[in-house]
Amino acid sequence: RLGAIPGAAGGARDAPGTSTVATKTSEMSDDDGDRSGRKRRPLRRVVVVGDSLVTGVGCRMDRCDGPTLPRRLGEALADAIGADVEWVAVGAKGADLAAIRRDVIPSLGSRRRRRGDDDERRSSSSSSSSRIDAVVLMCGVNDFKHALTGRQSPAAFHADLIRCVDDIKRALGDDVWVILPGMPMQLATIFPPPLRYLAVHASDAWDAQKRKLCDAAARVRFVPSPSSEAMQSAAGAGVAMVAVDGIHPNDAGYGAWAHHIAKSVAPVLLGDGAALCEEGGEEGGGK
């Protein structure tokens, strides 16, 4: 069963320009397992925060079950780890890290406290917890746009990223994992050569700052940008993956990207303390 309830995370009024969707991938309600004699599946909670990639720009507008990237990520994770995955997506269109810190992150602590209050009202036998297992932070595109006007450098982005991750951990606890996906900018069709090469180079430079933070910080994981071939294989041969605006993924692109991200997040949700910044890399952020 899959449903979406706009604003269901509750607990704080969203900042202007932000949007929130909450849902749970589930085959049974919390009580169904007890009544049927079937063992309830474990529950993991994931929050997806960031810019227009989170709010669903580029997706079909006739769906009512939430933006494609968080929804497909929840589905892929549920399949990969054999658990129910409750996800919340909180994003703001056009948001850079400063806007994410100002408009998005402050609501996370309030939502967690509201969830904790709801859990306390349940019976003492309930195993429910308000803990958030992982936060997927979608960022970077709107930040490196500033570099084109000389307003930001990779070093400045790295400093902003540190502050943003610190804000997330203050809101949700030091044990929460923060996932930093790389951007598949090579798929964008809006940039003609040579601007396309410049955009890919800039995106790679910003992604390098995410990897740098993963190498230095505990419980921070960098997910390398998927290759064009991997994305096409996941989406299907010949399937278009970019929205009409030339920059955002469409539903197929978001789905393929979510599948890629899920492969790195699944070990975290399974409690793999040896999870690495990158498969085959040296131990860093997976502390």
Q: What is the pLDDT of residues 227-243, one digit of tens each?
A: 999 999 999 999 999 99
Residue 34 or 51, more confident:
51
3-state helix, strand, coil in the chain (%, to 5): 45, 15, 40
pTM, two decimal places: 0.83
Q: Which two tokens stand for residue 234?
A: 């996941």
| Residue 116 pLDDT level (bands cut at 50, 70, 90) | low
pLDDT higher than threshold 70 for residue 120: no
The Cα 266–Cα 269 span in angstroms is 5
Q: What is the pLDDT of residues 189-246, one digit of tens each?
A: 999 989 889 889 989 999 999 999 999 999 999 999 999 999 999 999 999 999 999 9
pLDDT higher than threshold 50 for residue 135: yes
pLDDT higher than threshold 50 for residue 281: no
Average pLDDT, the chain: 81
Residues 6+ apart with CB under 8 A from 18: 90, 91, 92, 103, 104, 107
Residue 6 has a pLDDT of 34
H-helix or E-strand spanning residue 256: helix 251-269
Beta strands in 93-241 (DSSP E): 134-138, 177-181, 220-223
My answer on whether omega of the bond before 194 falls inside 30° of 0, hence cis, is yes
